[in-house]
Structure 1
Amino acid sequence: MDRKMIYAFRGWIAFVAFMDLGTAVRSYIEKRSFLSKAFSDTDFVDEEYTTSRILGVYSILKALALIHCTLYIHYKPVVSMGIFSLLVTIIMYITETLYFRAATLNFYVVFPCVLNCVTLGGLIYLPKRLRIWDPSLDCDDENVQLLKQAGAMKRRRHIRKNN
């Protein structure tokens, strides 16, 4: 059951990374992000769409961090990298909306915030609950298992040649 839960959660993290890649693509296609709020056509300050491009690059970096977190969830430093990238994103969305008022409280702010909060809670809670980081006898490193299998195959070949 624990393995099914961790595989499902890894799929969830991959989904969030895919959403960030979508945000990056949308930032480059639309050239206007949720942060570049235009008060009127004449007051629009970001004529070169710098804010949108910065958000796109940040979304790509966050997606790469989450993809690594998905693949290497059994390493604590990689999970902490994923946790902090989610935390920085949540702080950015909240401060840009509530403190700096650069964005309005709409779907493009609320949905990613909720998605990132759920993922953050999962990254903090699930690895500890499922004991991913606890050393156990039956969950060796993949390389160790492959070396053991290779050693067993060599022994079998050696026994067959001698018979």
Structure 2
Amino acid sequence: MDRKMMYAFRGWIAFVAFMDFGTAIRSYIEKRSFLSKTILEPSEFIDEEYTTSRILGIYSILKSIALVHCTLFIHYKPIVSMGICSLAITIILYLSETLFFRSATLNFYVVFPCILNMVTLGGLIYLPIKAKLWDPGCDDDENAHLLRQAGALRRRRARKNN
């Protein structure tokens, strides 16, 4: 049951990465980001060269790449740590720009990604530990599995030669 849950969660992480990739594409197509109040107050829009939008787009691409790697290599602690950090930084970015700096309004484009990232962050902290991916006695270590197979192959060849 734990493995099925882990595979489903890996799909969830891939979905979040896809959403970030969509945010990056939207940043380049619409040439405005959630950081500008252009929806309500177009007169306050200062970024004529759309620098903020491009920076958000590149950040979203980097985050989606990190999450894709986290999906593929979730059995490695440093990769999961990278995914946790990218999610935490994104949550901090959204909340600080909305609540502290007030450069964005509290709308769907802020609330939905923030909730999505919080759910993913909670799962990324909890599920790998629950699924015992990092137990030293776990058989998921690929190198140990390959070494056992190689040892068994050598023993079979030694028996045939004798």
TM-score (norm 1): 0.89
Give the Cα–Cα distance (whole angstroms) in 2 for the partners of residues 41 and 108 of structure 1: 17
Q: CA deviation at 1:151?
A: 4.2
Q: Which amino acid in structure 1 is aligned with residue 107 of structure 2?
A: N
Q: CA deviation at 1:157?
A: 5.0
Deviations 1:24-72 (A, max 9, x none): 0110111111112226444320000000000001111111111111112
Q: Which residue of 1 aligns with 2:48?
A: 47
Aligned length, in residue pairs: 161
Unaligned 5+ residue runs, structure 1?
A: none
Cα shift readout 1:55-102 (whole Å, capped 9, x = no counterpart): 001111111111111112112121111111111100111111111111
Once residues 61 and 36 of structure 1 are traced to their aligned partners in structure 2, the CA distance between those partners, rounded to angstroms, is 21
Residue aligned with 2:48, SS:
coil
Deviates more, 1:29-38 or 1:116-125: 29-38
State the Cα deviation string for residues 79-131 of structure 1 (Å, max 9, x = none): 11111111110011111111111111111111100100000110111112221
Corresponding position of 1:9: 9
RMSD: 1.8
Identity across the alignment (%): 74
1:26 pairs with 2:60:
no
Q: Assess if the C-alpha contact under 8 Å between 2:37 and 2:44 holds in 1.
A: no
Q: TM-score, normalised by structure 2?
A: 0.89
